[in-house]
A and B are shown apart, each in its own frame.
Chain A
Amino acid sequence: MPILAAEGLTRTYRIGSGTVAALRAVDLALEAGDFVVVQGPSGSGKTTLINLLGLLDRPDAGRVLLDGRPVERMDEEERADLRRDRLGFVFQTFSLVPVLTAAENVAWPMALRGAKELDARRRSLELLERVGLGGRTEVRPDLLSGGERQRVAIARALANEPPVVLADEPTAHLDGEAAESILDLMAALNRERGVAFLVATHDARVVARAKRRLTLRDGRFDSDGPAAAPAPAPAPVRGTGA
């Protein structure tokens, strides 16, 4: 059974007096250990797909199944709990909470789940060590570089050990070295811990790491199948295992 699936997913936006179909009856299944890259030009529906699969938005037609359960009829509180427990997010703009330190940002999803403060802190430090930020745990986001912020975001996405991480343009605001480092980290987590990644991107470097590549065009998949070329071997991840 797929961890996360889309069936006939359709989403239309109203713009002025007209409508724009962002997604048209899209099907997708994400299995444990997948590393799926969704590529396509701007406006092709990548972010809309991530939003719908991530329970951040509701489709006009079709449905999303998380662990085999349809989520459309759930209220906002139930969907929030599912996002907290089963999904991790990495956003293009990092989206860290500016008044929290790196460690506190990572601990937040655990606190939402009711983890004890000390336990959440210990695990957040482990995760930050894992993503190579062991020495930057008490720094606030405005003092971190773009690459460091995205590493914090990845650590936060893994806080509650979700089986799936959804990433929307995770390397868009990073320079080459930082982007490669982030991709190495994601690949290592996918390989070592079986975390499934669904990444929406324009970035060829990300596409090159995919186990499976999908191309969205005008709200529909152009092609589906395994990546044409095997992903290059990721660089070793710094730090100890989480």
Chain B
Amino acid sequence: MRLWTFAARNIARNRRRTLLTLGVVVFGFSAIALAGGFMAQSLDGLAESTIRSGMGHLQIAPPGGFEDHGLEPGAGLEGSDRIAETLRREPGVAEVLPRLEFTGLLSDGRRSVPFLGLGVDPAPEAKWMETPGALEAGRWLESRDERAIVLGVGLARTLGAKGGDGLTLLSTGADGTLNAMDAVVTGIVHLPIKELDDRWLATSLGLADELVGASGRVTRLVVVLEKRRGAEAVASRLESRLRAAGFAVEARPWEALAPFYRQVRLLYLGIFGFMGIVLVVVVLLATANTMMMAATERTREIGTLRALGTRPSLVRGLFLREGVLLAIAGSVLGALLSLLVRVILNHSGLMLPPPPGATRAMPLHVQAYFVAYAAGAIAMLVTLTLAAWLPARRASRIPIVEALTHV
């Protein structure tokens, strides 16, 4: 008689109680698996949204370009075209988007408002990033445009600007002079972060270069990868490769450039971690109670087993095996239930409010997140082992004579 078989038969002897215990385990596992799947989906959505909002999977900047104080006016990547070409030949790189960041004042002749400007290559930007698609009015930049700008909703509202209006951009050039240039508003886009929305402006690389006198240099190269996973390793590899080719650059993966994402992830982990602890405690209390009841009913039998020479440690082991078997059975059933509920939810068409940092409602979608399933199984295993520990300890310690006469 194998101990596992013995334990399994003990579990099966009171079917109703076992079903109740199993139900609690299945519920606990499913809750963890589904919540984890939802969290993973939300974080995935946020990560994609962060990357597609303009961040890219990684960015290349001149040394010091990622520091808070930014670059001096006109400073940028030396040989940015050759760097971009080198990057495009690297495996896993889908696109390289040049960016020229600049600041200045935007004026309608009566009011001047500070802005954060971005010179971009319009067509690839529209292909790979979401901001060009978040139009509130007008249209995105086109390469044939001359002196066109797109404004954030907040900036446009401050100036009372609309499509077709002419505005003046003022910025400090590389030589320290103040340059001014007229431009026409072609579109107004909505950005998810209000502080950015109130200051954001995009134009073509050509106009930006002309304004700040960058002489063809860009301040950053935004790299879009074929896969998000492993961006950190790719950034490190590309930085080494470019430095070896003689380019003075720094590379940063998107997560290092997105403190907001990191904060949201920590928040989610905190919320779901707390929820997981509550679930584990609920499962622990419910299962410990039923397992203790089962053990108490078997007190005489435990006395017999021990009288026959079953070591206390083996009696403990028997009860712990029962806990482990319940955890395994509950996890398997819980996994099946989670997969079923996931399919139902994913086809329900339910919409959720926009997640942090996003602007649009998103459909409820739950991932089959392996880590959550593994976490659920481990949590149930630990919980059921703990739940079995108390009756196991009692069974191994109760005086045999007392156990044999238990009523």
Contact = CB atoms under 8 A, between A and B. Distances in A.
Interface of A: 51, 54, 56-57, 76-77, 80-85, 87, 89, 91, 93, 95-100, 104, 107-109, 111-113, 117, 156, 160
Contacts of B401: 51, 56-57
Contacts of B308: 83-84, 89, 108-109, 112, 156
A107 B1 CA distance: 8
B312 A98 contact: no
The 10 closest A-B pairs by CB, nearest first: A84-B309, A99-B9, A95-B304, A83-B309, A56-B400, A80-B311, A57-B401, A104-B1, A77-B311, A80-B309
B260 interface: no
B10 A99 contact: yes
A85 B304 contact: no
Nearest to A168: B404
Given A56-B404, A95-B304, A104-B1, A112 B313 contact: no
Contacts of A89: 307-308
Contacts of A56: 307, 400-401, 404
B306 to A, nearest CB: 7
A99 B13 contact: yes
Interface in B288-344: 300-301, 303-314
B404 A91 contact: yes
B301 A80 contact: no
B392 to A, nearest CB: 15
A141 to B, nearest CB: 11
Contacts of B310: 80, 84, 108, 112
B62 to A, nearest CB: 72
Nearest to A159: B308
Interface residues of B, number: 25
B307 A108 contact: no
Given A95-B404, A100-B6, A77 B313 contact: yes
B2 interface: yes
A122 to B, nearest CB: 14
A128 to B, nearest CB: 15
B63 interface: no
B22 to A, nearest CB: 18
A107 B306 CA distance: 15
A76 B304 contact: no
B314 A112 contact: yes
B399 interface: yes
A112 B309 contact: yes
A88 to B, nearest CB: 9
20 contacts: A80-B309, A80-B310, A84-B310, A91-B304, A91-B404, A93-B300, A95-B301, A95-B304, A96-B304, A99-B12, A99-B13, A108-B308, A108-B310, A109-B308, A109-B309, A111-B1, A112-B310, A112-B311, A112-B314, A117-B2
A100 B1 contact: yes
B301 A98 contact: yes
Nearest to B11: A99
A56 B402 CA distance: 10
A111 B318 CA distance: 14
Contacts of B10: 99
A83 B312 CA distance: 13
Contacts of A83: 307-309
Contact of A54 (B304, B307, B311, B314): B307
A146 B32 CA distance: 50
A215 to B, nearest CB: 23
Nearest to A79: B309
A76 to B, nearest CB: 5
Task: Tell me which of B308, B399, B404 has the highest count of chain A C-beta atoms within 10 A of its own C-beta.
Answer: B308
Contacts of B312: 76-77, 80
A237 B6 CA distance: 32
Nearest to A48: B401
B119 to A, nearest CB: 78
Contacts of A84: 308-310
Contacts of B9: 99-100
A98 B303 CA distance: 13
A97 B300 CA distance: 10
A158 B311 CA distance: 19
A51 B10 CA distance: 27
